[in-house]
Amino acid sequence: MKFTNGCWLKRDGVTSHSPAQVYEKTVEEDGTIRLYAPTSYVYNRGCTLGGVCLTIRVSTPREGMFGIQITHYEGVSTKYPQFELETDGDIKPEISYEDNLIIIKNKSARLIIDEQVNMSFYSGEKYLTCIKAKDMSYFTVREGTDGDGYEKYTAYMSAATNLSVGEHIYGLGERFGEFVKNGQSVDMWNADGGTSNEQAYKNIPFYMSDRGYGVFVKESGKVMYEVGSELVRKVSFAIKKESLSFCIICGEDNEYGYMKDVLVKYTALTGRPPVLPSWSFGLWLSTSFTTDYDEATVMSFIDGMKERDIPLSVFHFDCFWMQGMKWCNFMWDKEVFPDPAGMLSRIKEKGLKVCVWINPYVAQDSELFVEGAAKGYFIKKTNGDVWQWDMWQSGMAIVDFTNPEAKKWYQSKLTELLRMGVSCFKTDFGERIPTDGVVYHDGSDPHSMHNYYSYIYNKAVYEVVAKEQGEKEAILFARSATAGGQKFPVHWGGDCTADYESMAESLRGGLSLTMSGFSFWSHDIGGFEDTSTDDVYKRWVAFGLMSSHSRMHGSNSYRVPWNYGEEAKEVASFFAKTKNELMPYIYSHACQAAETGIPLMRSMVLEFPEDKNVTYLDKQYMLGPDMLVAPVFDSSGDVDVYLPDGVWTDYFTNETYKGGRWYSFKNVSYMYIPCFVRENAVIPVGGRNDRPDYDYMEGLKLKVYQPESDMEKDVVIYDSDGVGKNVVRVVIKDGISCGDDKEMTLIYDK
């Protein structure tokens, strides 16, 4: 939100108050530093008579970070939902005072506060950013007059970090616009808007700088960011509240590097994903949305994939597994699926898992509506009526997950499906949550619940899957999210269009999301809206099967490969098998993502932060630390690829390329996607290509790329159950491989 009119003036009706001095400082029992800061300098006793004062608290929630809370009025009784954070109570700051400075140390992180309340943040001796006193502001905005003629004001609390010369900002959730956020105004407000605009399904109030720090705003409500778009040297964030809480996360130059370390620390605070079932990394196939299908259709798709030698892991039933107008009643449409339990059993006999679509809404014609309304299980209006509207489902209500009994009721319906044979759920929607004139069971502020609803919705579903299937088998396919949602993977990019533009914007959104603490991401192969050309479909198949999770899904047309020409079948077969062969590599780094929070699918700048050529790159990415993937986004088949310094090897052809420059590939085959491996990398390749979950050590091959003449390296390979771990020792002596008894291929310059 913009409050200023140039560098010196405020907009009409705006008044601001910023701290002028540290008037009083105390250390509370938990180690929090409390600063009492008048917004006018206190020259004498008379200056203590009234006026706006701000209370600033500085805490150390975890190692290497500082929590900042700025408050005007502390007597606010509104109940705001709080993110579920994993703080470390054992972390106590080292506090010292020197030359009117307050110096606060938290391991390698350091915060210096001067007597005017200017804050500077460091990692060791490296300066990261600062927050000037004038950039911590309590704003009031005149909103007209009330019925008695008195002026009405709305209060906002705001803060801003400094933008250094050449600094770039990333993150803020799954955003489909420009990857670098500089120059953008961004509001944290989940919306069901598709992928072709500035709205987002997953708004995450966290951004990261390529200077090696991150800022997490601990507010679930509508945080409004100006990323160099108001004052060009500032990243400001504001919320309509009497207080504002945020964390400055200081990256270290450790084994991860500054930027990755920020994600390690951020996900330690907000949560990391679990170890996912290895079967989830295989190919998913959907019925699509509004298409006609029954058991015969489903079985023809499943059998058709097998007949065409396209490995399949999961079959997904979209909305119409239930009867239309009744979503959600969690009941199979018996006219279409007369024997659902038998059908699920027959599908699972073919070695597949089953996913079904759900949402948190209950249509008025659903058999569950009367019960839910009578028992108070839905979000209500202030007069006690059930909140309803006719968008999406006629007269639909929304389950109130702040009501423990409503949560149990909803989960009980899912339990029945899981025990029937369903493996997991696609948790759709959760964005269009009302804010005006509504009441939650626990009294939470509706505006702050708008984004947070996605968290409690997905958490409720994830918990019941984990309870019934076991934690190692639990997975969702979710669309909406807020901070912490990464604990309930996987998330997909929502409704994209079946063209190259949407394919590219989907990748931008995915990379933005993985810069926001999410480790896994998927997208609709072939696009959701409309029907793609054969050309786009084949390119999307290659891209989708070189992503962390891969699902063929559409709106009004099927996404089975044989609907897109003969070659599409070969393309799907080739890349599905390629991904399955790469599972020892992919799954091991997926398990490491659960340990560190470093994403499996990552942007170039996260992996190569010192290379200024990758700052804006959003059309290629790293799959794990060693494989660079560059999808084709043009009907010509042409693609430009930037390779960072070093020697890179084409994974498919073994051709080698010198890094530090761009390469142009012309009219590339549909059976190919540019994929390059870093020098000294060891890529473990499995002995099977027909499924993603198998014994990765049986038939394992190690491909060693451009190794140094003398190299020793331990390669960690996780078992497909995510529990066992194997360490394979790779030793290269004078260019000759030795070490563990595994087939090893050394790949040198051609």
Tell me the torsion sign for CA atoms 570, 572, 573, 579.
Answer: positive
CB neighbours (10 Å) of residue 144?
8
Query: Which of helix, strand or coil describes residue 458?
Result: helix
Is 198 designated active site? no
List 428, 473, 535, 607, catalytic entry? 428
Cα 515 to chain centroid distance, Å, stands at 8
Dig out the tokens for 488 from the structure: 């309930």
CB neighbours (10 Å) of residue 729?
12
CA distance 369 to 303: 38
Length of the chain: 750
Is 445 designated active site? no
Instruction: Write out 380-417 in H/E/C secondary structure.
Output: EECCCCECCECCCCCCEEEECCCCHHHHHHHHHHHHHH
Among 483, 445, 21, 468, CA closest to 215: 483
What lies within 8 Å, CB to CB, of 643 at 6+ separation is 628, 657, 658, 659, 660, 661, 662, 663, 676
Is 431 designated active site? yes
Q: Are strands 53-59 and 65-71 parallel, antiparallel or unpaired?
A: antiparallel
Contact predicate 380/410, CB 8 Å: no
Q: Are strands 283-286 and 656-658 parallel, antiparallel or unpaired?
A: unpaired
DSSP assignments along 461-502, one per residue: HHHHHHHHH-GGG--EEE--B-TTGGGS--BB----BSSHHH
Instruction: Write out 540-580 in H/E/C secondary structure.
Output: HHHHHCCCCCEEECCCCCCCCHHHHCHHHHHHHHHHHHHHH
- Helices 500-514/534-544 angle, 10° precision: 20
Contact predicate 240/221, CB 8 Å: yes
CB neighbours (10 Å) of residue 141?
19
Among 242, 230, 227, CA closest to 157: 242
Which residues share a beta bridge with 59? 67
Contact predicate 343/298, CB 8 Å: yes
List 135, 431, 529, 581, catalytic entry? 431
Dig out the tokens for 459 from the structure: 């958490």
Radius of gyration of the chain (CA): 27
Contact predicate 509/518, CB 8 Å: no
Dig out the tokens for 654 from the structure: 């073994």
List 210, 226, 252, 495, catalytic entry? 495
Backbone dihedral angles phi then psi of residue 299, each to the nearest 5 degrees: -65, -30
CA distance 70 to 17: 12
CA distance 620 to 604: 7
Residues annotated as part of the active site: 428, 431, 495
